[in-house]
Amino acid sequence: MNTTAGGIDLHTHSTASDGALTPTELVHAASDNGVETLALTDHDTTGGLAEAKGAAAAHGIRLVPGVEISVTWQRRTLHIVGLAFDSDSSGLNTGLARLQLQRRTRAETIAAKLEKTGVADALEKAERLANGGQITRAHFARLLIDAGLCRTMAQCFKRYLKPGKPAYASVEWAGLTEAIGWIHDAGGLAVLAHPLGYGMSAAWRDRMHAAFSQTGGDAVEVCCGASSPERLQTSVHAALKYGLLGSAGTDFHSPAQRWLRLGRLPRMPETVTPIWTHARFAAG
Ligand code: AMP
Ligand code: MN
Ligand code: MN
Ligand code: MN
């Protein structure tokens, strides 16, 4: 496999969580964009993988099993992407089942809070939008837009769904050690997702990379869908400092995200070892 991120996208979403495309549609779109190796990484679920695998086989694309696990670390939420694992692993599936229950309970809490601010039938609406997939805050954002209460997703989070806002419900997600353990027990690799996406200061980011590496994490997302050369260098520096491999993923959710396209990623800098050269990944 090559050392550039060309034809590779290791962070994407489908209707199994908050993506707009079904796993089949996602694979079609990836294929149209020249993606040869695709990981589907839905929030706390592997529910879309079987369908994606079938569609990928039909397109001659390599589908890497993936998941994006919600983690609570130092009272902050982090996202740890698991890649190239055995999706039959009971440890991983038991862990994800717990997070899915927590998502359900949180959805009920968010809906109750929204009702208090005057939004009717929020749970039913979110369920309808999720259509059997995991309910996320993105679904609540969509119903707020549909109700004419906000114009953009960003506005929904800023006004209603972020910590400190009226419809925020805090959750103690998986522990960092726990999530990495589930991924490793299933034979996979653990990736720290979008390290610049948590609104952290440089000092906190450094602590996060250190903790992730010390806990046995394997890689950090160096190449992201919306990265500038400066942002990329920040993550290159962290990968080298903490001996982490580099991963590459757009975090694609929907064709409506006009600023990113499936598989369109910067090249992995030569100083960083790409995750896709790892033996476990190559075998996965
Ligand atoms: P959850 O995991 O249910 O808390 O939902 C988090 C998801 O909401 C993320 O994966 C994003 O897809 C989406 N999200 C979070 N913040 C924003 C934002 N400011 N604008 C748009 N989408 C967001
Ligand atoms: Mn999402
Ligand atoms: Mn994420
Ligand atoms: Mn994601």
Find all residues with CB under 8 Å of 108, minimum gap 6, and list them.
123
What is the band of 280 on the pLDDT scale with cuts at 50, 70, 90?
confident
| Predicted pLDDT at 233 | 95
Q: What sign does the CA torsion over 258, 66, 284, 211 have?
A: positive
- The residue-averaged pLDDT of 157-181 equals 98
115 backbone φψ class: left, alpha, beta (φ>0; ψ -120 to 50): alpha
| Predicted pLDDT at 258 | 87
pLDDT at 49 over 90: yes
Q: What is the DSSP letter of 159?
A: I
Ligand nearest to the CA of residue 126, numbered in listed order: 1
Average pLDDT of the chain to the nearest whole number: 95
Quick check: 237 and 220 in contact, CB under 8 A?
no
- The Å distance, Cα 17 to ligand 2 centre, comes to 7
Quick check: 212 and 220 in contact, CB under 8 A?
yes
Q: Is the CB of 160 under 6 A from ligand 1?
A: no
Quick check: 233 and 227 in contact, CB under 8 A?
no
pLDDT at 282 over 80: no
Return the residue whose CA atom lies nearest to atom 12 of ligand 1.
138
Query: In ligand 1, which atom is closest to the CA atom of 44?
Result: 2
Of 1-15, 160-174, 176-190, the range with the lowest mean pLDDT is: 1-15
Quick check: 126 and 135 in contact, CB under 8 A?
yes
| Predicted pLDDT at 6 | 58
Query: In ligand 1, which atom is closest to the CA atom of 157?
Result: 19
- The residue-averaged pLDDT of 147-173 equals 97
Residue 268 CB coordination number (10 Å): 27
In 3D, which of 52, 13, 67, 8 has the Cα closest to residue 34? 8
In 3D, which of 77, 66, 82 has the Cα closest to residue 102? 77
The CA–CA distances, whole Å, from 261 to 11, 12, 214, 220, 252 equal 12, 11, 33, 20, 7
Percent of the chain's residues with pLDDT above 70? 97
- Of 136, 152, 156, 161, the one to substitute when testing ligand 1's pocket (max ligand atoms within 8 A of C-beta) is 136
Q: Is the CB of 18 under 6 A from ligand 1?
A: yes
| Predicted pLDDT at 227 | 79
| Predicted pLDDT at 3 | 42
Provide the CA 43 distance to its chain's centre, in angstroms.
6
pLDDT in tens, 58-110: 999 999 999 999 999 999 999 999 999 999 999 999 999 999 999 999 999 99
Quick check: 247 and 191 in contact, CB under 8 A?
yes
What is the band of 226 on the pLDDT scale with cuts at 50, 70, 90?
confident
- The residue-averaged pLDDT of 32-42 equals 97
- The Å distance, Cα 206 to ligand 4 centre, comes to 21
| Predicted pLDDT at 67 | 99
Structure tokens at 248: 């590459």
pLDDT at 2 over 50: no
pLDDT in tens, 123-158: 999 999 999 999 999 999 999 999 999 999 999 999
- The residue-averaged pLDDT of 172-184 equals 98
pLDDT in tens, 187-212: 999 999 999 999 999 999 999 999 99
